[in-house]
Structure 1
Amino acid sequence: MQIYILDDDEQVVAANRFLLNAMGHGSQGWSSPQQFLDELDDKKPAILLLDLAMPELDGLAVLSVLQQRRSTVAVILLTGHGDVPQAVEAMKLGAVDFLEKPIDARRLTAALAQARLKVDQLVEQARVHQCFTRLSAREREVVSLVAQGLTNKAIAEQLCVAVRTVEVHRASAMNKLNVANMAELLNHWQLYRG
């Protein structure tokens, strides 16, 4: 899996690339957050070692952009000094871990293992989100109401349509989402909303 490094200090980028290479990982580095965001393929699964303190855009801002773009890049934040409130904010934004510089190889190995799991989750979320884009507005509305626990009859009453119409929209949505039962449908809804 591709590993990216983003740090405004080019020497830190070089040192981290050297460490990753010694650990058997290929990597690519940037020292400009904007250039990184411009060049990033959001659909390509990867792991990003992201510096927290950068003058142009800080790590939290970059992490926020990645989240908004529904990127399949898992983020490990790096900092020269631990900051609990920033770590909490980073985790809320979806960061996998928060490591202090210089990076300890053992902690990095553990963080990379967690990041790989996060990448798998992000790829699945992206796949599910793509499936939801194929739903009509009414199908999405029916799935939302099903996820809230409403019966077909209650949904029909709320939407002022026949129960059969709800059944047709529900079946069509399940077909487009490639789910076989309610549990899968609800799981997809959670991934879509997550």
Structure 2
Amino acid sequence: MRIYVLDDDPQVLAANAFLLKAMGHESRCWSEPAAFLAELDDAEPAVLLLDLAMPELDGLAVLDILNRRRSPVAVILLTGHGDVPQAVTAMKRGAVDFLEKPVDARRLATALAQARARAGELEERARARRQLARLSAREREVVALVAGGLTNKAIADSLCLAVRTVEVHRASAMSKLEVANMAELLRCWQQGQD
């Protein structure tokens, strides 16, 4: 999984890239948040070591932008002078961890493992949203009602359709979503609803 580092201090940027390399990880570095955000591929899962205090956009603002873009990037915030309220705010906004500089290799290794898992979850949600976007409006209605626990007959009554029509929409939706059974259909629906 890709690892990115964003910090406005060139020495810290170089030190973190060196630490990651020593730990066996390649990384890509940026010193400007706008450049990072412009170049980021929102479809690619990644881990971002993100400086909290930057003049242009601070780390929390970058985190908020990533959240709005629904980017599958798991964020580890870094700070030279963190405090408990900042850490709480960062975690509430979706950061995986909040580490103080200079970064300890053991804490970073733990945070990276958690971030990789989180990025995988974010990628699954993004994939589910892409799959759900393939559905027609009627297929989406049918899947929503299936996810709500309704039978084909109850869905047909609710939408004023024939049961056979509901079955066709349901089968078409399952094909488009690339799911083989109800459990997979429900998982895809739930993941795509965040």
TM-score relative to the length of structure 1: 0.91
Question: What is the root-mean-square deviation in Å for CA atoms of aligned residues?
Answer: 1.7
In 2, distance between residues paired with 1:79 and 1:64? Answer: 17
Aligned to 2:88: 88
**2:78 aligns to what SS in structure 1?**
strand
2:33 is the counterpart of 1:33: yes
Give unpaired runs (5+ residues) of structure 1: none
Task: Report the AA paired with residue 190 of structure 2.
Answer: Q
| Residue correspondence of structure 1 range 39-188 to structure 2 within 5 A | 39-188=39-188
**2:192 aligns to what SS in structure 1?**
helix
**1:115 aligns to what SS in structure 2?**
helix
After TM superposition, give the deviation of residue 16 of structure 1 in Å: 0.9
Task: Report the AA paired with residue 7 of structure 1.
Answer: D
Task: Report the AA paired with residue 20 of structure 2.
Answer: L
Task: Report the AA paired with residue 173 of structure 1.
Answer: A
Shifted more, 157-166 versus 32-41: the winner is 157-166
Kindly tell me: are residues 184 and 21 of structure 1, through their superposed partners in 2, closer, same or farther at Cα, counting changes over 3 Å? same
2:2 is the counterpart of 1:2: yes
Give unpaired runs (5+ residues) of structure 2: none
In 2, distance between residues paired with 1:138 and 1:83? Answer: 50
1:86-144 Cα shifts (integer Å, max 9, x gaps): 33333333221111111111000001111111222222222222211211111112111
Shifted more, 66-75 versus 183-192: the winner is 66-75
**1:56 aligns to what SS in structure 2?**
coil
